[in-house]
Amino acid sequence: MHLLIQLCLVRPLVLGKRTSEDGDEWCVASEDCAFGPIGFQRVRDVLPGEMIVITEEGMRCQTCKRCDSSIAKDTTLALHWM
C-alpha cells in the first residue's frame, strides 16, 4: 500500500502500529480513536507531503514536495493500494 497525504495538510492522518506473532502491522486513519478497537497504538502524525509505503517487509517513509503558496489548498488526498 502506498499512502500520500495531501501537500497542504487539510485532512491530517495518523500512523498506527501493532505487533502480532506475524510481526509488525501498520494502519493509517484520520483519527487515532480508530486504533483502540482494533488493537493498534498511535505512532505519530503523517507529515504534510509524506509518502508512507507499507509492504510485507515493513513500513518506510519518504518526504515529497512541501506545501507552498503556488499549490492549491484543495489538493486532494491520494490513497493507492498495490
In degrees and rounded to multiples of 5, residue 4 shows phi and psi of: -125, 115
| Mean pLDDT computed over every residue of the chain | 75
Q: How confident is the model at residue 51 (pLDDT cuts 50, 70, 90)?
A: confident
Q: How confident is the model at residue 17 (pLDDT cuts 50, 70, 90)?
A: very high
Average pLDDT (2-19) is 73
Q: What is the pLDDT of residues 18-43, one digit of tens each?
A: 999 989 999 988 899 999 999 999 99
Burial class (CB in 10 A: 0-12, 13-18, 19+), 74: exposed
For the chain, the structural domain boundaries read 2-67
Could you tell me the pTM of the whole model? 0.69
